[in-house]
């Protein structure tokens, strides 16, 4: 299965790109935790860092409104990694 | 009652009589309303009546600093203002940074109230105890940039100078007040200033702000600086522009007058692009370790030489709102707005309106003085700002603001994106339903700050869903009350959490500053201020009917992006509004009940 990952600001800098596709050969679904294992080894983007200082969205919903690191992604799903927002 | 933070007195200047008085502030008012926004609102309540016309001598400019203004902590820069707005024809609260507020406090005053009207243009010079109203005839007609340069000689820095520009002198209701390159942007306070023949106020203070327990204060202040440096790195690196691409991703980035929430030109107006092609250096307000202002310069092309520090909102309103993806045009537009003294946000949304009615054939090149005023035309956007300032061609109509345009062209009201006369900001409520309540119930008209910025909570809190109504009343109230007290402290909001100022305030910095422990009362103070503002609005004839959001957002489904298909229908909006009124303890018409006023200790106001 394949998912799309989108990066913003410092995460785009760490990954060197704004978006890319990830293939998981032997899986039909994969958890956010597992995707981050990849991101950590490839780009040094750690789940704990992002969960504390940033926002992780699966299909446009924050994982804090889903199942946190156990949130599941299926074929065609989208993961977004961005810094925390504060405005006004 | 207080042993620091406040000086306890303010200056009252009557321009008709040319008198200067120093008056004491009632410490009970400081205790109940804190300072800045809260204190300015309390004085407004007593001194500006419902019949007062905004551009008449009876209107007043009520400036107050907060207790933290000018004190030795990070970003203690702010001064607040209340006045009756010519743009909304009702109560306005506004605030600005730079060094003006701190120097006013160091000169020995918590605030200034300006009333009446001078017979000829004047300016005010404050140097510690010496306060003078001086002949300003030669200054009339000058741009704010020229005024800044002239007075920098006199007082030390450009942002110790507060001024209005040619736009205000032409009675354009969207005209702002400039503090150096910073703005008290919204609501037309600049036009009020010009209507009094007051061109500028320059201040230099050589004293220090008294602090009750200086060592303890400095310890907490240092922790605040460390915390802010750690958590606000993106503000230093990108400024508020960091949210541009993010809001676009959420599908809530108003484009072409709210026709959609996704801008196809995003890549040339986002933070990375700005930094690569235009960034020059950071600039800081008083004692600020973040320095979020991103000074940019256009190095080539038709706008070569334009220089300014664009913010998220300005890029949103002069950019995507107008369909403009040329960042150089946005910088030029921003520079002109600062120079001539007009609000970048209101002018952007009003030009977007003009672009839409041009494209739909309601107006032609005859009305625009030959401009091809279509969405995406950056050059036309820039020229239109100048036409509004000079009241040329259709600029004359647009200079009257949303309410003025609606009166003259009621058939075009559908395209006017405002609440209570104040144009919306660069967030689309169809992407975050709570944002509709924010715009609808903000004390000064559609404002994403005063109305409570809800985007993060709606996005990540487990309690809410951005596309649902549940809990939004409680959320918006909490955000508004928090903002109510923060706007009254004299602090820049960017660093507030470094000091412990959240919706669950902690820490003792206000006690170390003033000798009084405000912390347990802060959220109540915020609610009290917000509710008092509501009493003013009711007195000025604003009720539920004025808390409505534009029809487009209630009837047109978002055509694309993350919010595709969403609309804040009448049913949804009224449900949220009822919920909000209930949580606020207001009746169904949006009037605070006696019980709530008693609870907040302001039943004496009715």
pLDDT score of B211: 98
What's the whole-model pTM score? 0.97
Q: What are the chain A neighbours of B465 within 8 Å (beta carbons)?
A: 65
Over residues B70-90, the mean pLDDT reads: 97
| ipTM of this complex prediction, to 2 decimal places | 0.96
A82/B459 Cβ within 8 A: no
- Give the position of tokens 């006369």: B421
For A8, nearest residue in chain B (alpha carbons): B246
Over residues B255-262, the mean pLDDT reads: 98
Q: What are the chain B neighbours of A87 within 8 Å (beta carbons)?
A: 240, 243, 312, 448, 453, 455-456
A55/B459 Cβ within 8 A: yes
Q: What are the chain B neighbours of A83 within 8 Å (beta carbons)?
A: 234, 242
From A66's Cα to the closest Cα of chain B, the distance in A is 8
A64/B493 Cβ within 8 A: no
Token pair listed for B549: 């959001």
B234/A60 Cβ within 8 A: no
Q: Strand B161-163 vs strand B198-204: parallel, antiparallel, or unpaired?
A: antiparallel
Q: What are the chain A neighbours of B185 within 8 Å (beta carbons)?
A: none
Over residues B139-148, the mean pLDDT reads: 98
Task: Assess whether pLDDT exceeds 80 at residue A88.
Answer: no
Inter-CA distances, B121 with B77, B190, B200, Å: 28, 14, 10
Residue A52 lies in a domain: yes
Name the CA radius of gyration of chain B, rounded. Answer: 22
Task: Assess whether pLDDT exceeds 90 at residue A10.
Answer: yes
Q: What are the chain B neighbours of A65 within 8 Å (beta carbons)?
A: 460-462, 465
Q: What are the chain B neighbours of A66 within 8 Å (beta carbons)?
A: none
Kindly give the interhelix angle for B434-441 and B570-584, rounded to the nearest 10 degrees.
Answer: 60
A12/B246 Cβ within 8 A: no
- Mutation site for A-interface testing, chosen from B251, B311, B428, B456 by largest number of A Cβ within 10 Å: B456
| Nearest CB to B246 within list A53, A62, A82 | A82
From B466's Cα to the closest Cα of chain A, the distance in A is 9
| Residue B93, SS3 per DSSP | strand
Instruction: Calculate what percentage of chain B has a pLDDT beyond 90.
Output: 98
Task: Find all residues with CB under 8 Å of B461, minimum gap 6, and list them.
Answer: A64, A65
pLDDT score of B121: 98
pLDDT tens digits along B272-309: 999 999 999 999 989 999 999 999 999 999 999 999 99
The domain ranges of chain B are 9-204, 236-416, 434-486+518-605
pLDDT score of A26: 83
Nearest to B592 by CA among B526, B536, B523, B545: B536
A65/B465 Cβ within 8 A: yes
Task: Assess whether pLDDT exceeds 80 at residue B540.
Answer: yes
Task: Assess whether pLDDT exceeds 80 at residue B536.
Answer: yes
The Cα–Cα gap between B376 and B546 comes to: 32
Question: What burial class does residue B583 get, using C-beta atoms within 10 Å of its C-beta: 0-12 exposed, 13-18 middle, 19+ buried?
Answer: middle
Task: Assess whether pLDDT exceeds 90 at residue B346.
Answer: yes
| Nearest CB to B249 within list A64, A80, A83 | A80
Give the pLDDT band of residue B73 (cuts 50, 70, 90).
very high
Those residues of chain A whose CB sits closer than 8 Å to some CB in chain B are 6, 8-10, 12, 53, 55, 60, 62, 64-65, 80, 82-88
Number of domains in chain A: 1
| Residue A54, SS3 per DSSP | strand
Give the pLDDT band of residue A63 (cuts 50, 70, 90).
very high
From B8's Cα to the closest Cα of chain A, the distance in A is 30
| Nearest CB to A86 within list B456, B462, B465 | B456
The Cα–Cα gap between B183 and B94 comes to: 9
Compute the Cα dihedral for B302, B305, B308, B310 and give only its sign: positive
A85/B459 Cβ within 8 A: yes
- Give the position of tokens 């032997």: A26
Give the pLDDT band of residue B606 (cuts 50, 70, 90).
confident
Which range marks the domain in which residue A66 is found? 2-83
- Cβ atoms of B539 and B590 closer than 8 Å: no
pLDDT score of B575: 98
Over residues B66-84, the mean pLDDT reads: 97
Question: What is the number of alpha carbons within 13 Å of residue A8 lying toward its C-beta?
Answer: 27
CATH of B9-204, one of 3.60.9.10, 3.20.20.220, 3.40.50.280, 3.30.420.40: 3.60.9.10
Instruction: Calculate what percentage of chain B has a pLDDT beyond 70.
Output: 100
Q: What are the chain B neighbours of A84 within 8 Å (beta carbons)?
A: 456
* H helix runs in B119-196, sequence order: 144-155, 166-169, 189-195
Over residues B249-258, the mean pLDDT reads: 98
| Nearest CB to B493 within list A8, A55, A88 | A88
B271/A87 Cβ within 8 A: no
* H helix runs in B115-188, sequence order: 144-155, 166-169
pLDDT score of B130: 98
Q: What are the chain A neighbours of B246 within 8 Å (beta carbons)?
A: 8, 82, 85
Task: Assess whether pLDDT exceeds 80 at residue B142.
Answer: yes
- Residue A48 CB coordination number (10 Å): 10
pLDDT score of B530: 98
- Cβ atoms of B175 and B185 closer than 8 Å: no
Token pair listed for B285: 């307000």
Give the pLDDT band of residue B568 (cuts 50, 70, 90).
very high
Task: Find all residues with CB under 8 Å of B180, minimum gap 6, and list them.
Answer: B98, B99, B100, B148, B157, B158, B159, B160, B161
Q: Domain B236-416 carries which CATH code? A: 1.10.569.10
pLDDT score of B559: 98
Those residues of chain B whose CB sits closer than 8 Å to some CB in chain A are 231, 234, 238, 240, 242-243, 245-246, 249-250, 271-272, 312, 448-449, 452-453, 455-456, 459-462, 465, 483, 493, 562
Rounded mean pLDDT of chain B?
A: 97
- Mutation site for B-interface testing, chosen from A58, A82, A88 by largest number of B Cβ within 10 Å: A88
From B449's Cα to the closest Cα of chain A, the distance in A is 5
The Cα–Cα gap between B118 and B133 comes to: 10
B493/A10 Cβ within 8 A: no
Q: Strand B279-283 vs strand B198-204: parallel, antiparallel, or unpaired?
A: unpaired
Give the CATH number for residue A59: 3.10.20.30
Q: Strand B111-115 vs strand B9-14: parallel, antiparallel, or unpaired?
A: parallel
pLDDT score of A27: 83
Task: Calculate the dihedral angle through the C-alpha atoms of B168, B171, B173, B177, rounding to the nearest 10 degrees.
Answer: 20
B449/A88 Cβ within 8 A: yes
The Cα–Cα gap between B316 and B253 comes to: 8
pLDDT score of A72: 96
Over residues B105-118, the mean pLDDT reads: 98
Q: What are the chain B neighbours of A88 within 8 Å (beta carbons)?
A: 448-449, 452-453, 483, 493
For A6, nearest residue in chain B (alpha carbons): B249
Instruction: Calculate what percentage of chain A has a pLDDT beyond 90.
Output: 91
- Residue B405 CB coordination number (10 Å): 24
Q: What are the chain A neighbours of B462 within 8 Å (beta carbons)?
A: 64-65
Task: Assess whether pLDDT exceeds 90 at residue B533.
Answer: yes
pLDDT score of A87: 77
| Domain covering B434-486+518-605 assigned CATH 3.40.50.300 in the classification | no
| φ/ψ (deg, to 5) at B375 | -55, 135
A6/B460 Cβ within 8 A: no
A65/B271 Cβ within 8 A: no
| Nearest CB to A88 within list B234, B271, B448 | B448
- Mutation site for B-interface testing, chosen from A49, A63, A71, A87 by largest number of B Cβ within 10 Å: A87
- Cβ atoms of B78 and B43 closer than 8 Å: no
List strands edge to edge, sheet with B122-127: B130-135, B122-127, B198-204, B161-163, B177-179, B182-184
């Amino acid at each position: 299965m394949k998912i799309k990952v989108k990066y913003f600001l410092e995460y785009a800098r760490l990954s060197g790109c704004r978006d890319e596709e990830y293939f998981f050969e032997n899986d039909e679904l994969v958890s956010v935790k597992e995707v981050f294992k990849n991101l950590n080894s490839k780009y040094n983007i750690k789940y704990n860092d992002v969960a504390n200082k940033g926002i992780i969205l699966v299909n446009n919903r924050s994982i804090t409104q889903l199942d946190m690191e156990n949130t599941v992604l299926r074929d065609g799903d989208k993961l977004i990694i961005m810094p925390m927002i504060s405005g006004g | 009652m207080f042993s620091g933070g406040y000086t306890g007195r303010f200056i009252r200047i009557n321009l008709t009589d040319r008198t200067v008085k120093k008056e004491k502030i009632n410490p009970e008012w400081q205790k109940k309303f804190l300072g800045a926004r809260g204190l300015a609102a309390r004085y407004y309540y007593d001194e500006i009546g419902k019949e007062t016309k905004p551009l008449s001598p009876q209107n007043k400019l009520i400036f107050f600093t907060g207790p933290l203004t000018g004190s030795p902590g990070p970003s203690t820069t702010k001064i607040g203002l209340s006045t009756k707005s010519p743009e909304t024809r009702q109560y306005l609260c506004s605030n600005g940074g730079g060094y003006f507020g701190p120097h006013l406090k160091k000169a020995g005053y918590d605030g200034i109230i300006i009333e009446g009207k001078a017979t000829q243009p004047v300016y005010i010079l404050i140097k510690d105890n010496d306060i003078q109203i001086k002949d300003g005839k030669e200054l009339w007609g000058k741009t704010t940039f020229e005024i800044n340069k002239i007075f920098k000689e006199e007082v030390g820095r450009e942002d110790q100078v507060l001024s209005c520009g040619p736009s205000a002198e032409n009675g354009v209701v969207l005209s702002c007040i400039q503090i150096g390159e910073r703005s008290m942007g919204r609501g037309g306070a600049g036009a009020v200033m010009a209507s009094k023949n007051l061109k500028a106020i320059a201040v230099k203070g050589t004293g220090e702000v008294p602090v009750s327990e200086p060592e303890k204060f400095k310890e907490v202040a240092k922790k605040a600086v460390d915390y802010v440096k750690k958590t606000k790195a993106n503000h230093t690196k990108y400024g508020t522009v960091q949210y541009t691409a993010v809001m676009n991703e959420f599908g809530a980035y108003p484009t072409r007058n709210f026709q959609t929430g996704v801008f196809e030109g995003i890549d040339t107006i986002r933070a990375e692009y700005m930094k690569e092609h235009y960034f020059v250096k950071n600039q800081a307000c008083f004692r600020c370790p973040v320095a979020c202002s991103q000074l940019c310069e256009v190095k080539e092309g038709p706008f070569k030489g334009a220089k300014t520090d664009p913010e998220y909102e300005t890029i949103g309103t002069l950019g995507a709102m107008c369909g403009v993806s040329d960042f150089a045009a946005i910088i030029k537009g921003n520079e002109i707005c600062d120079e001539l003294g007009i609000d970048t946000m209101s002018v952007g949304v009003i030009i977007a309106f003009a672009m839409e009615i041009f494209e739909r054939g309601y107006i032609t090149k005859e009305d625009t003085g030959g401009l091809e005023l279509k969405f995406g035309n950056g050059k036309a956007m820039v020229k239109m700002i100048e036409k509004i300032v000079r009241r040329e061609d259709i600029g004359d109509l647009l200079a009257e603001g949303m309410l003025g345009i609606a009166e003259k062209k009621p058939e075009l009201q559908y395209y006017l994106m405002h609440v209570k006369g104040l144009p919306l900001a660069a967030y689309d409520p169809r992407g975050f339903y709570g944002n509709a309540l924010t715009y609808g119930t903000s004390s000064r008209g559609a404002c994403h700050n005063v109305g409570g910025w809800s985007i993060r909570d709606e996005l990540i809190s487990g309690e809410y869903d951005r596309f649902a109504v549940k809990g939004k009343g409680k959320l918006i109230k909490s955000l508004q009350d928090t903002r109510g007290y923060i706007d009254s402290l004299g602090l820049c909001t960017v660093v507030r959490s470094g000091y412990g100022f959240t919706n669950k305030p902690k820490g003792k910095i206000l006690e170390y500053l003033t000798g009084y422990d405000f912390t347990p009362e802060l959220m109540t103070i915020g609610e009290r201020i917000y509710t008092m503002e509501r009493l003013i609005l009711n007195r000025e004839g604003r009720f539920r009917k004025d808390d409505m959001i534009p029809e487009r957002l209630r009837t047109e489904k978002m055509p694309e992006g993350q919010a595709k298909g969403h609309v804040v229908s009448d049913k949804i909006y009224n449900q949220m509004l009822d919920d909000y009124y209930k949580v606020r303890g207001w009746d169904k018409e949006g009037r605070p009940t006696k019980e709530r006023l008693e609870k907040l200790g302001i039943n004496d106001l009715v």
